[in-house]
Amino acid sequence: MVGPKKKGLVFRYLFAIVLLLIMIYPYIYMVLNSFADWSQVDKKFFPTEYSLKSWEWLLGGGESVIPRPWINAFFNSLLVSAGSTILMMVSAVMVSYALAKIQFKGRDTINNVILFQMFFPAIILLIPTFLVIQKVGMYDSYWGMILPKAMSLWAVFMYTNFFKAIPDTFIEAAKLDGASEMQIMFKIVLPMSKSITTVIFLFLFMERWTELLWDMLVAKSDNMLTLNVLLSQMFGPYGGYPGPMYAASVLLTLPIIVIFLLFAKKFQEGMQFTLK
């Protein structure tokens, strides 16, 4: 009785592992090709000869006018993504706290407007938002990339639902102890929301890190480009140098994977909550 059952289990795990390897093969292909000898890039499923030429080219600047443009773009990405994500988190916590835990006239109206805006197709806003940024002189600046993405209605929605589930008695008690609204928000409500904060942070950061269209419109000068935009621009011109392109892809993908894996456990806990 135990024998066949065990066999079935081994088979199941094997199947799951093979499927997982197929799913992440594109990443494996990317990493291997970034280290492959240039004669073998895109020529074999698993390259057999390796060299560091692609990485030397990438980190040394290659044939570009700017020295080390990829490193520069990497830090632009980091700055823009971190700036946007922090602002999105802070604004979402504040607004959600008001919507869930403060009773004031007009709250329902704000709630409805947010819901309306959430289901509104955002595509209509692309051109005029670009014009707004241009008019206020933020074209080709970090703020131009950060500010239009400083607020996430999805995050507000998630936090509001979570905060509503926190019993008011906690807040009442803190109030009696003389805590201010700010203190309650940061010292009581937020520490109770760690796992959902992880989920929201990861989704927002991932989305911001891989944004193309908006950054592409706003960033124009070579030293303002984010890594994603630079990679996109070099797609054609560097077509003859696929090796360094794979190295640049690794540079873009690795940080986000590391961040995700660091928070993976908390992320799963949080997902359990959001899916209920």
Partner 1 sequence: MRKNQGWLGWLFASPYLLYAIIFFLIPLVWSLFLSVTDWNLISPTYSFVGLENYAAALKSQGVQSAFFVTFKFMAVFVPLVIAFSIIVALIVQGLPRFKGLFLIGFFLPYLASGVVSSLIVKGILSYNSPLNEFLRGTFGLDIDWLGSPFAALFVVALIIAWKFTGYYALILTSGFESISKDVYEAAMIDGVTPWQRFWKITLPLLYPALFTVLILSIGVTFGIFTEVYQLTGGGPNFATNTWQMEIFTKAFSNLQAGYASAIAIIASIVTFVAIYIIRKLLELWGKRNGWT
Question: Residues 6, 24, 75, 165: which binds partner 1 (CB under 8 A)?
Answer: 24
Q: Which of 70, 74, 97, 162 binds partner 1 (CB under 8 A)?
A: 97
Q: Considering the rule CB under 8 A, would residue 132 count as an interface residue with partner 1?
A: yes
Residue 50 makes contact with partner 1 by CB under 8 A: no
Considering only residues 6, 9, 112, 187, which one is a binding residue for partner 1 as defined by CB under 8 A?
Answer: 9
- Chosen residue from 6, 7, 42, 187 binding partner 1 by CB under 8 A: 42
What is the C-alpha to C-alpha distance for residues 121 and 229, in angstroms, rounded to an integer?
24
126 is an interface residue for partner 1 by CB under 8 A? yes
Is there binding between residue 119 and partner 1 (CB under 8 A)? yes
- Among 127, 167, 191, 240, indicate the residue that binds partner 1 (CB under 8 A): 127
Burial class from Cβ neighbours inside 10 Å (0-12, 13-18, 19+) for residue 93 reads: buried
* Amino acid, single-letter form, for residue 226: T
Amino acid occupying residue 48: T
On whether the CB atoms of residues 140 and 220 are closer than 8 A, the answer is: yes
Q: Tell me, residue by residue from 166 to 185, as one string, x for binding to partner 1 by CB under 8 A and - for no binding.
A: --x------x-----x----
Q: Is 85 exposed, middle or buried (0-12, 13-18, 19+ CB in 10 A)?
A: buried
**Of 52, 66, 115, 125, which one interacts with partner 1 (CB under 8 A)?**
125
What is the C-alpha to C-alpha distance for residues 240 and 54, in angstroms, rounded to an integer? 12
Q: According to the binding rule CB under 8 A, does residue 5 interact with partner 1? A: no
Sign of CA dihedral 113, 119, 121, 122: positive
Burial, 195: exposed, middle or buried (Cβ in 10 Å; 0-12, 13-18, 19+)?
buried
Among positions 203-232, residues that touch partner 1 (CB under 8 A) are 206, 209-210, 212-213, 217, 228, 231-232
Instruction: Confirm or reject binding of residue 252 to partner 1 (CB under 8 A).
Output: yes
Computed on alpha carbons and rounded to an integer, the radius of gyration of the chain in Å comes to 24
Determine which residue in the list 151, 174, 190, 192 makes contact with partner 1, applying CB under 8 A. Answer: 151
